Structure 1
Amino acid sequence: MCGRNSLFIDQADLEARFDAEVVADGGYTPRYNIAPGDDLHIITNEASDEIDTYHWGLIPFWADEPEAGMINARSETADEKRVFDRAWDSRPCLVLSSGFYEWRSTNGGSKQPFRIHREGDPAFAMAGLWDVWDGADESISCVTILTTDPNDLMKPIHDRMPVVLPKDVESEWLSAGADARKRLCQPYPKDDLAAYEVSTRVNNPGNDDPKIIEPLEHEQSGLGEFSSG
């Protein structure tokens, strides 16, 4: 799954990386610990040259009142779920990230957080679906992140991972039809993802500062011991 995100690249570099302009109300503020219910910066298929912010949690269109919504959607079955029906069919988006967080269960029962990022790329895109919930007095633009099976890096940490898109298929994700997009929902195939342990400070969404991404200092920090060779 994907339960936390970050995006802290400089705005000018972000816009250059995705060839898009930030149009979000309130502009752009670097974030190190983005939790469900916060806003995610995304690029939709309807405005591929714009970076906007959408509520993280896709709200069922039939809901009478706004709610937290679905923060993740299984890519294998999203096309079968009523809640994602119209979003899967025609509303793909890129969810922008400088790295996401996942928690690995330990023998003692506690969970150790890891930061997963792409080496050499301060911002990348995860596959998402967007929608608009319309209420009596308001409309909420919302988004969910698609997940898939873990790749070799993620297997020791969690049994799911977000669909991280290789840079060369980001445009295709926005423009392709539903069947072609489903074929793109694969475990990240390249070897430029890296993971390392971070402090449990990330567990508290109120902690949102550069210290969140600092490696945890101990003798076996990182995932070298899990390498599959």
Structure 2
Amino acid sequence: MCGRNSLFIDQADLEARFDAEVVTDGGYTPRYNIAPGDDLHILTNEAPDEIDAYHWGLIPFWADEPEEGIINARSETADEKRVFERAWESRPCLVPSSGFYEWKAPNGGAKQPYRIYREDDPAFAMAGLWDVWEGEDETISCVTILTTEPNDLMNSIHDRMPVVLPQDTESDWLTADPDTRKELCQPYPKDDLDTYEISTRVNNPGNDDPQVIDPLDHEQSGLGEFSS
């Protein structure tokens, strides 16, 4: 799965990387520890030249009241689920990332967090689906991140991973038909993802600063801050 994200590239570099303009109300703020329920910056198929902020958690359209929503969708079955039906059919999006986080519990012990990133790319794209929940008094634009089987790197950490798109398929993800997009939902095929252990500071969403991404042996003070 993908339960924590980051996006801390400079705004100018983010806009250049995706050939799009940030249009978020309040502007863009680099984030090192984005948790479910926070906003994710995304590019939708309807506005591929704009980077906007959507609620992380796709809220079922039948929900009477807003809720946290579904943060991940299994790409293998998303097209079969009623909650994702219209989003899968016609609402793909790109979710930029400077790296996501995953946890591993070696030998049943305490969970160790890892940062997964692409060394040669300060921001890559994960595949997502967006939707708009409509209530009586408000509407909420929301997003979920698609997951797939792990590649060789992720297999030693977790049994799922987000659908990380090679850069040359990002535009295809936004423009292709549903069947073609499903074919793109594969374990990341290249060997340019990397990972390292980080401290448990990331467990607390209130820790949203550059120290979160420090390698474990460079950041020992947070080892006792497990809070989730």
Q: Same fold (TM over 0.5)?
A: yes
Q: Where does 1:136-151 land on structure 2 (aligned, <5 Å)?
A: 136-151=136-151
Q: Following the alignment from structure 2 to structure 1, what is the Cα–Cα distance between the partners of residues 136 and 63?
A: 11
CA displacement at 1:43 relative to structure 2: 0.1
1:159-212 Cα shifts (integer Å, max 9, x gaps): 000000000000000000000000000000000000000000000000000000
Letter in 2 for 1:154: M
1:27-46 Cα shifts (integer Å, max 9, x gaps): 10000000000000000000
In the alignment, does 2:111 pair up with 1:111? yes
What secondary structure sits across from 1:186 in the alignment? coil
| Structure 2 counterpart of 1:128 | 128
Letter in 2 for 1:188: Y
| Structure 2 counterpart of 1:157 | 157
CA displacement at 1:87 relative to structure 2: 0.1
Q: Following the alignment from structure 1 to structure 2, what is the Cα–Cα distance between the partners of residues 119 and 209?
A: 19
CA displacement at 1:138 relative to structure 2: 0.1
Q: Following the alignment from structure 2 to structure 1, what is the Cα–Cα distance between the partners of residues 196 and 12?
A: 27
Range that drifts further, 102-111 or 189-198: 102-111
Backbone CA RMSD of aligned residues: 0.7
| Structure 2 counterpart of 1:224 | none
**Structure 1: gaps of 5 or more residues:** 219-229
Q: Following the alignment from structure 2 to structure 1, what is the Cα–Cα distance between the partners of residues 84 and 54?
A: 16
What secondary structure sits across from 1:150 in the alignment? coil
Q: Where does 1:42-191 land on structure 2 (aligned, <5 Å)?
A: 42-191=42-191
| Structure 2 counterpart of 1:8 | 8
Q: Following the alignment from structure 1 to structure 2, what is the Cα–Cα distance between the partners of residues 108 and 91?
A: 39
CA displacement at 1:108 relative to structure 2: 4.6
1:6-39 Cα shifts (integer Å, max 9, x gaps): 0000000000000000001111000000000000
CA displacement at 1:119 relative to structure 2: 1.2
| Structure 2 counterpart of 1:34 | 34
Q: Following the alignment from structure 1 to structure 2, what is the Cα–Cα distance between the partners of residues 93 and 161?
A: 17
Letter in 1 for 2:141: S
Letter in 1 for 2:123: A
User: Across the two proteins, how many residue pairs are aligned to each other?
Assistant: 218
Letter in 2 for 1:125: A
CA displacement at 1:109 relative to structure 2: 2.4
Q: Following the alignment from structure 1 to structure 2, what is the Cα–Cα distance between the partners of residues 106 and 5?
A: 22
What secondary structure sits across from 1:153 in the alignment? helix
**Structure 2: gaps of 5 or more residues:** 219-228
What secondary structure sits across from 1:133 in the alignment? strand
